[in-house]
Amino acid sequence: MTEYVCLTAVAAAGEPEAAFKARLTAFWTHLLRTRPDQYERVYAEATRFGADRGRVTRQYLVEADAAGAVTAELAAAGVEFVPVDPDDTYTKYEATSPDWFQLDH
C-alpha cells in the first residue's frame, strides 16, 4: 500500500490568503507542466486553508518517497513549507471528504 506524508505549504509573512492561493496555483500549474511525474504523486489537497502563527497554510498528501522532490520544487519556487515528518504517514483512505479532495491526474 502506498504511504503518504502531509506537506504543509506556508504563506509569506503578511501574505493574504488570496495572494497565497494564486501563488500555489501558479506553482502547481508549473509542476504539472514541467514535472508531471512528480505532480501525479500528490494525492490530495485540504479543502480549506489553515493558519499557523498568523500565516496562511495549505496541506497536501504526497507519496512519501516523492516528498523530497516536491519540497525541492517548492523551495526553488520560493514557497515555504513545514519540514515533512517521514515517520508520520497516512493511507489514501485517511484523506476523506469533507476535509480533503483527491486531485485528478
Q: What is the pLDDT of residues 35-53, one digit of tens each?
A: 999 999 999 999 999 999 9
CA distance 1 to 3: 6
Residue 59 has pLDDT above 80, yes or no: yes
CA distance 11 to 22: 11
Tell whether 20 is covered by a domain: yes
**Considering its fold, how many domains does the chain have in total?**
1
Tell whether 68 is covered by a domain: yes
**Local structure of 47: helix, strand or coil:** coil
Per the structure, the complete domain to which residue 75 belongs is given by: 12-79
Read off the pLDDT of residues 60-95 as tens digits, 9 standing for 90 and up: 999 999 999 999 999 999 999 999 999 999 999 998
Tell whether 52 is covered by a domain: yes
Instruction: Return the higher-pLDDT residue of 105 and 83.
Output: 83
Tell whether 3 is covered by a domain: no
- The per-residue pLDDT for 1 is 84
CA distance 40 to 49: 22
Read off the pLDDT of residues 12-26 as tens digits, 9 standing for 90 and up: 999 999 999 999 999
- The per-residue pLDDT for 16 is 98
Mean of the pLDDT values across residues 57-62?
98
Stated as kind and residue range, the H or E segment containing 30 is helix 17-34
Tell whether 96 is covered by a domain: no
Enumerate residues 6+ apart whose C-beta is below 8 A from 96.
Answer: none
The amino acid at 97: S
Tell whether 61 is covered by a domain: yes
